[in-house]
Amino acid sequence: MKKKLLFIIPSLSAGGGEKSLVTLLSQLDYSRYEVDLFLLHHEGLFMDFLPREVRVLPLPETYRSFARPLPESMLRFVKSGRFSLAAQRLLFAFGSRSGGTSRSEQRSWRHMARFLPALPETYDVAVGFLEKTSNYFCVDKVRARKKIGWVHIDYDKHGMDAAFDLPYFQKLDHIVTVSEECAEILRRNFPEESAKIDVVYNIVSPAMIARMAEEAPVDLYNRVEGETIILSIGRLHAQKAFETAIAACRRLLDKGHSVRWYVIGEGEERGKLTELIAKSGLNGRFILLGLKANPYPYLKQADLYVQTSRYEGKSIAIDEAKILGKPIVVTNFSTAADQIRHESDGLIVGMSPEAVAGGIEELMGSPGLRRRFSDQLAASPLGTEAEMEKLDRLFA
């Protein structure tokens, strides 16, 4: 008999966790598993990539009303006489806007939870696939023989409230994270839960990435002879420190290097970054491409991949750049060494524009070093499909 699995994630918008889940689902053995997916928002870049075997569960009517804009949502609840829900909707709106911090997001679950009834089915395994709401829903709203919660982040860097998470983590059978460094951080925060913390690397498929990278054979960058194309991938968020990338780009141009720097991603900092690009005189040189359903042709055709993050859990974009053999420069965030071996298959540099520009200059000036990095990556076992064996054990 097939095991019944449930995965929970807020949406399938463009993010590392979302991409990791879709890849994981594409690798499952559906002769062994029957899979449901619960989304709070039935939208996102990766919706079209879901395997046909996955059943997306419908949203409860109360949550559909909750998810509407605040005035419309309040009016619906008041008109139907559900005044307590109207009050909770208002409290959620104020709570979730109080600084936009992880802690406010955590606390807002108490209000959101009122709009989400428990799921009617019972599962063999339920998986909250993203920190915060996914895990809280898994614990509070699902009946399952085994419950697993995922944490994709460096817990310390996101300002999380461990006291809020502890009672939820106590009710999980396993807490999964994506790197050894992230696991150690969780063990420091939750020493009493250490025995249930497991590491499962993000699932990436070299064969799928290589195939999708060939889907746009034309020159996507309209490159000019002698020009270096740099690519970064990530949400337009303070975590990714794209202002450092902009300043590094300006520095490279001022030193006479012919470069264009592209960013694939979208987010709340678009306006701020667009203004900074114009102020820095980089229109046409530092380009925000927005979201791309298939970023791999852009990655394959770029000369260098650069990541300027302040912090990461484990970056899927870096893994994908490695699979496509790109020379890579990353900043020295706490988990960088989990993915890049400095001067063996990439460069780890300081977080300043000067350090980032210096690393890029080093690669630009040394074709031999770029080739050595690419050759090292080509000889490395970079696929993580074997991580599925770990998941099979967790699901047992």
Q: Which two tokens stand for residue 57?
A: 């569960």
* Cβ atoms of 269 and 244 closer than 8 Å: no
The confidence score (pLDDT) of residue 96 equals: 61
The confidence score (pLDDT) of residue 99 equals: 47
The band of 39, judged by pLDDT with boundaries at 50, 70 and 90, is very high
**Which 3 state secondary structure label does DSSP give 96?**
helix
Residue-wise pLDDT for 95-104, tens only, equals 665 545 778 8
Question: Pairing mode, if any, of strands 328-331 and 347-349?
Answer: parallel
Q: Which two tokens stand for residue 132?
A: 């915060």
Query: CA 170 from chain center: how many Å?
Result: 25
The confidence score (pLDDT) of residue 290 equals: 95
Residue-wise pLDDT for 259-294, tens only, equals 999 999 999 999 999 999 999 999 999 999 999 989
Alpha-carbon span 291 to 153, nearest angstrom = 22
Q: Which two tokens stand for residue 203?
A: 């699932």
Residue whose C-alpha is closest to residue 21's, from 50, 45, 60: 50
Residue-wise pLDDT for 60-101, tens only, equals 988 887 777 777 777 777 777 777 777 777 777 766 655 457
Mean of all residue pLDDT scores within the chain:
91
Q: Which two tokens stand for residue 139?
A: 């614990």
The confidence score (pLDDT) of residue 324 equals: 95
Residue-wise pLDDT for 347-369, tens only, equals 999 999 999 999 999 999 999 99
Beta bridge partners of 122: 143
* Cβ atoms of 129 and 19 closer than 8 Å: no
Strand order in the sheet with 259-264: 286-290, 259-264, 228-233, 304-307, 328-331, 347-349
Q: Which two tokens stand for residue 134?
A: 């996914």
Q: Which two tokens stand for residue 290?
A: 């927005």
The band of 381, judged by pLDDT with boundaries at 50, 70 and 90, is confident
Query: Burial letters for 106-137: b for 16+ Cβ neighbours within 10 Å, e otherwise?
Result: bbbbebbbbbbeebeeebbbbbbbbbbbbbbb
Query: CA 116 from chain center: how many Å?
Result: 25
